[in-house]
């Protein structure tokens, strides 16, 4: 099963590439995957139909309870045949219908097929939800297309909102149900169903999600709107497969929860209401696809009613109708696609006499419509007889007589709109748009013929179908009447009379439909949805106007106050012991504390941005000093480097900002509120740290790391934790670092590449440059790269020469920290920061051309190479049969060097080093774009040819 899902995903990813080479044949390649699923399910049918099952499990994060459980039983076998079988035929139909964007459409349809297969095979509530939402996403993309038409975008948004919100409600129900049951495995919950008030809450939430997915009233409006999608999408997603996800969920959980209130009242009320009212709306539709869409809502209501009733006869009838509906409704939708493709319209008022032009298609559609109407000997007739029997004789449900009456009314309306479909699409005299229609090719009609013929085959060969549907129905106990047997002839029975009555009434309704009340008098769900969306938009605008005032200090104050109030209130209520920590470990700590506190207080009082940044840096350096005296040299080294790099980058940003913080005078009470919020956060963090330390009962995890140092071949426990024991965390952190850098660069460049300096508001400062002007050493000759980028007053020959002398030494130091990090303070992160500062210094002194001479590769490429190297080193052990991110100590003896010993995690550290250097260069290219006048970035502009010819050390 896992391999089957992987095949869907792999072929989906490859289809756009194949489409450029195979053309229309790519549809056949895509169809091979669901055909393989049909064959695979067939090879396992014997065991499943005998009461067995197949299970597969993929351990994702078992310690967190995240396990991918898959299970093939009778119900999932039935659904898999529907999903894969109809999917293969729709894909084979598409080459004749889809005229452009074939690669995207084929990939999305196949991705949807894989998501539906995963949904019906899932045996874990969370896994089921993931595939549930994947089908929602696929539906959105297929409805919206390329987003060129406003109507398509609107319909896609409506489908996404309704089904996704329903899915979130269902997810909440899953969580409640799983917590009450003590497991999230579906089969375990159904085998031993929990009971209680919370189970009733979970049932309501889950049913709401199922009703939204299966377009049940009043959540049905998205399905008619979705008819703007291409007809193959409507036939597959919105008739045969996706809309049945809610029906499948009801069928899956009904054996366990049908007796739980309010399951049956909700299922019967919503299902039967949808069945009758949607069929009534279908009688007035003039668009063939809309007619079938309302008919689909009606039949889905019938399926919800049957499969949610919780009895064996109803379950048997529901399983039969599940197969029947998939066959006849997808065939009818595809027939409409052919009509639309050949005539250019789906409007009943414009079609007349099409049966003269396409007699074969007319016969095929008539066969499917007869199955929908429940005429013998088709499978729809078997289903109709079964559900009349289920509610007339086969159940002791309260009010089953009234339920039977409603079923007769709904069945009669189904007959009426089936007749309306046939007459509207094919009846009448030839004329109008039909006169110029061409006959469709055999390949175009063949998938429709197979689906329509399946209704006849399943009806005439009902014995084979009975084995499949009875395997699912057998999960329910037998009633007092004994097992119901499928048959085309049970004699002259009341059920036969009800079936004949529904056909007769349907014919009368069709003949007299013009005198019936208009369906538009029913509640306007689409209008209600539109008004709701407009109201939500207005509410969001009003709330945003009052809360998003554009003040960063206000936002930070609100966040900090929230942090103090919510976790702080919980901490105060618990009143934990704060322990008895020692005031200090070293006599140097009080001095460092005074430095940190004084600098922090001075930050609040200063009015100059540069002064504030320098004071904030002093706070960081003071904390790094605390790390030193506490015996944490790795932390201290990293803190010093990070503070230094932060100062440089922020100073570069300050060139674009005013010198002072606020042009005006901030009110005293506002400053007091901010100071109070900041102080409260400090108190909260201090109390939380003390309480957490005092609450420790288990030995620290670092003791286990210290015992395993030899395995990693390391002497530095900090580096061993980063690249061995917690390497997955490090990989995630550097990935976030790269993403954050890309985001920062995008934001910085959003306003354009110029910018210059922000006007000074009186802060003074001579020279107007980043460094004070030093006229005594102004260069007279332009012998260095980048000489023309800045005025001579902004350059210093001594500083440039000193930088070129120090640059190689700084890089060597960074490499030393990289390679020695496993044994002493250092590592890839610290080494990368040192190397980055070397490049920053080179840029500040020599400008773009000088940095370009030192770095001849794109900064983004360096960062991506580092991430790829770290990921490859982590995955390589898995390929070789080991655990991911596993490290090995390698020892060899070169003839000259002697013994060389290193851990393979060194290459992971090299990846971290490269990523940090690349991120620094990327940030530098963004915030340092205008040391001169609108200077291009080192990432983008090549070094001018003239600069390459100039002398000077590289």
Query: Model confidence over 800-832: pLDDT tens digits?
Result: 788 888 889 999 999 999 988 888 888 889 999
Q: Which residue has the tokens 């291409």?
A: 230
pLDDT of residue 516: 63
Q: In whole angstroms, what is the distance from residue 643 CA to residue 839 CA?
A: 16
pLDDT at 209 over 90: yes
Question: What is the percentage of the chain residues whose pLDDT exceeds 70?
Answer: 88
Distance of CA 384 to the CA centre of its chain: 40
Q: What pLDDT score does 1 carry? A: 83
In the predicted model, is pLDDT for residue 796 greater than 90?
no
Q: What is the mean pLDDT of residues 571-599?
A: 85
Per-residue pLDDT band for 728 (boundaries 50, 70, 90) equals confident
Phi and psi angles of residue 672, each rounded to the nearest 5 degrees, phi first: -65, -40
Per-residue tokens: 934? 């609108």
pLDDT score at 770: 34
Residue 512 in this model has a pLDDT that exceeds 90: no
Is pLDDT above 80 for 927?
no
Is there a contact between 519 and 283 (Cβ–Cβ < 8 Å)?
yes
For range 487-499, the mean pLDDT:
86
Q: What's the mean per-residue pLDDT of the chain?
A: 83
pLDDT at residue 935 greater than cutoff 50 = no
Q: Do 346 and 287 meet the contact criterion of CB atoms below 8 Å apart?
A: yes
Q: Which helix (H) or strand (E) holds 58?
A: strand 54-61
User: Tokens for 649?
Assistant: 């980058």
* C-alpha to C-alpha distance for 451 and 82, rounded to whole angstroms: 11
pLDDT of 556 reads 87
Instruction: Tell the burial category of 134 from Cβ atoms under 10 Å away from its Cβ (0-12, 13-18, 19+).
Output: middle
**Count, residues in the chain:** 954
Find the mean pLDDT for residues 436-447: 84
Show Cβ contacts of residue 92 under 8 Å, excluding neighbours closer than 6 positions: 27, 28, 31, 446, 447
Tell me the percentage of the chain whose pLDDT exceeds 90: 32
Amino acid 948: pLDDT: 37
Q: Is the pLDDT of residue 535 over 60?
A: yes
pLDDT at 769 > cutoff 80:
no
Partners of 61 in the beta sheet? 66
Query: pLDDT per residue over 64-108, tens digit each?
Result: 667 888 999 999 999 999 999 999 999 999 998 888 888 888 999
CA distances from 893 to 318, 899, 905 (A): 74, 4, 20
- What is the rounded radius of gyration, in angstroms, for the C-alpha atoms of the chain? 36
Residue 741 clears pLDDT 80, i.e. is over it? yes
Does residue 758 surpass a pLDDT of 60? no
Above 60 in pLDDT, residue 941? no
Which of 14-28, 665-679, 733-747 shows the lowest per-residue confidence on average (mean pLDDT)? Answer: 665-679
More confident residue, 707 or 185: 185
- Say which residue, 498 or 484, is predicted with more confidence: 498
**pLDDT confidence of residue 793:** 53
pLDDT for position 574: 82
Question: What tokens were used for 385?
Answer: 């007889």
Is 926 a residue whose pLDDT tops 60?
yes
H/E stretch holding 890 reads strand 889-892
Least confident segment among 40-44, 273-277, 854-858: 854-858
Residue 355 has pLDDT above 50, yes or no: yes
pLDDT for res 414: 93
How does residue 790 score in pLDDT terms, banded at 50, 70 and 90?
low
Average pLDDT over residues 18-38: 88
Rounded-to-integer distance, Cα 408 and Cα 393, Å? 15
pLDDT of residue 771: 34
Mean pLDDT of 886-891: 82
Nearest partner of 708 among 723, 721, 722, judged by Cα: 721
How much is the pLDDT for 399?
Answer: 63
Average of per-residue pLDDT across 260-276:
91
pLDDT of residue 482: 65
- Averaged over 921-942, what is the pLDDT? 53
Give the pLDDT of residue 772. Answer: 39
């Amino acid at each position: 099963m896992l391999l089957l899902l992987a095949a869907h995903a792999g072929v989906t990813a490859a289809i756009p590439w194949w489409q450029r080479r195979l053309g229309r044949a790519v549809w056949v390649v895509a169809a091979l995957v669901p055909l393989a699923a049909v064959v695979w399910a067939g090879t396992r049918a014997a065991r499943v139909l005998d009461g067995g099952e197949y299970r597969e499990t993929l351990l994702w994060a078992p310690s967190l309870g995240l396990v991918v459980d898959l299970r093939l039983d009778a119900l999932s076998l039935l659904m898999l045949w529907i999903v894969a079988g109809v999917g293969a035929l729709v894909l084979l139909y598409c080459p004749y219908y889809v005229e452009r964007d074939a690669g995207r459409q084929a990939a999305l349809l196949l991705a949807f097929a894989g998501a539906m297969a995963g949904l019906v095979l899932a045996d874990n509530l969370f896994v089921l939800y993931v595939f549930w939402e994947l089908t929602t996403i696929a539906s959105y993309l297929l409805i919206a297309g390329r987003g060129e038409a406003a109507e398509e975008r609107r319909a896609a948004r409506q489908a996404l909102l309704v089904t996704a919100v329903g899915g979130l409600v269902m997810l909440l129900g899953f969580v409640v149900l799983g917590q009450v049951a003590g497991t999230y495995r579906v089969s375990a919950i159904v085998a031993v169903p929990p009971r209680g008030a919370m189970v009733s809450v979970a049932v309501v939430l889950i049913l709401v999600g199922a009703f939204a997915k299966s377009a049940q009233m009043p959540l049905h409006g998205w399905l008619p709107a979705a008819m703007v999608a291409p007809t193959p999408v409507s036939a597959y997603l919105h008739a045969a497969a996706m809309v049945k996800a809610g029906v499948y969920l009801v069928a899956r959980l009904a054996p366990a929860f049908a007796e739980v209130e309010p399951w049956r009242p909700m299922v019967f009320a919503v299902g039967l209401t949808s069945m009758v009212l949607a069929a009534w709306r279908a009688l007035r539709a003039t668009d063939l696809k809309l007619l079938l869409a309302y008919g689909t809502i009606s039949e889905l209501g019938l399926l919800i009613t049957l499969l949610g009733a919780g009895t064996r006869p109803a379950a048997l009838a529901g399983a039969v109708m599940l197969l029947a509906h998939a066959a006849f409704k997808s065939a009818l939708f595809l027939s409409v696609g052919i009509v639309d493709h050949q005539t250019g319209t789906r409007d009943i008022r414009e079609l007349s006499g099409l049966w003269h032009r396409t007699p074969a298609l007319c016969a095929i559609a008539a066969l499917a419509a007869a199955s929908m109407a429940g005429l013998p000997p088709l499978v729809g007739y078997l289903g109709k007889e079964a559900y009349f029997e289920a509610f007339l004789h086969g159940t002791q449900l309260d009010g089953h007589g009234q339920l039977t009456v409603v079923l007769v009314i709904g069945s009669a309306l189904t007959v009426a709109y089936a007749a309306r479909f046939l007459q509207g699409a094919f009846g009448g005299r030839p004329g109008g748009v039909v006169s110029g229609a061409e006959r469709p090719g055999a390949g175009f009609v063949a998938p429709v013929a197979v689906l329509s013929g399946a209704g006849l085959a399943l009806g005439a060969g009902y014995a084979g179908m009975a084995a499949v549907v009875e395997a699912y129905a057998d999960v329910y106990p037998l009633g007092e009447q004994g097992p119901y047997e499928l048959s085309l002839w049970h004699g002259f029975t009341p059920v036969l009379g009800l079936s004949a009555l529904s056909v007769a009434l349907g014919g009368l309704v069709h003949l007299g439909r013009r005198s019936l009340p208009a369906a538009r008098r029913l509640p306007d769900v689409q209008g209600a949805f539109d008004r709701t969306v407009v109201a939500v938009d207005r509410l969001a605008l009003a709330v945003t106007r009052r809360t998003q005032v554009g003040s960063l200090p206000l936002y930070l104050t609100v966040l900090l106050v929230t942090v103090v109030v919510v976790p702080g209130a919980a901490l105060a209520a618990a009143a934990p012991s704060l322990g008895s920590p020692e005031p200090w470990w070293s006599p140097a700590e009080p001095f460092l504390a005074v430095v940190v506190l004084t600098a922090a207080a001075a930050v609040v009082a200063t009015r100059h941005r540069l002064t504030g940044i320098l004071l904030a840096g002093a706070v960081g350096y003071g904390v790094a000093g605390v790390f030193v005296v506490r015996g944490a040299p790795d932390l201290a080294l990293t803190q010093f480097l990070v503070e230094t790099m932060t100062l440089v980058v922020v100073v570069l940003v300050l060139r674009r900002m005013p010198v002072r913080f606020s042009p005006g005078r901030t009110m005293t009470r506002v400053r007091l509120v901010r100071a109070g919020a900041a102080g409260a956060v400090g108190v909260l963090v201090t109390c939380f740290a003390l309480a957490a330390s005092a609450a420790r009962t288990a030995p620290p995890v670092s003791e286990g790391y210290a015992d395993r140092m030899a395995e990693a071949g390391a002497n530095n426990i900090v580096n061993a934790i980063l690249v061995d024991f917690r390497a997955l965390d490090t990989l995630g952190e550097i990935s976030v670092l790269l993403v954050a850098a890309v985001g920062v660069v995008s934001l910085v460049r959003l306003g354009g590449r110029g910018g210059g300096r922000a006007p000074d508001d009186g802060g003074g400062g001579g020279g107007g440059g980043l460094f004070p002007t030093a006229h005594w050493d102004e260069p007279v000759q332009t012998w260095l790269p980048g000489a023309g980028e800045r005025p001579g007053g902004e350059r210093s020959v001594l500083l440039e020469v000193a930088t070129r002398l120090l640059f190689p030494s700084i890089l060597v130091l960074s490499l030393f920290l990289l390679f020695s990090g496993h044994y002493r303070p250092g590592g890839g992160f610290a080494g990368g920061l040192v190397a980055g500062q070397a490049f920053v210094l080179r840029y500040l002194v020599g400008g773009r051309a000088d940095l370009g001479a030192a770095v001849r590769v794109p900064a983004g490429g360096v960062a991506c190479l580092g991430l790829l190297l770290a990921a490859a080193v982590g995955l390589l052990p898995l390929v070789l049969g080991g655990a991911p991110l596993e490290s090995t100590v390698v020892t060899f003896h070169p003839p000259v060097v002697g013994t060389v010993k290193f851990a393979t995690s060194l290459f992971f550290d090299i990846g971290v080093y490269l990523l940090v250097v690349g991120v620094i260069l990327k940030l530098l290219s963004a915030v340092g774009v205008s040391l001169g006048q609108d200077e291009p970035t080192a990432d983008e502009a090549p070094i001018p040819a003239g600069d390459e010819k100039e002398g000077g050390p590289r």
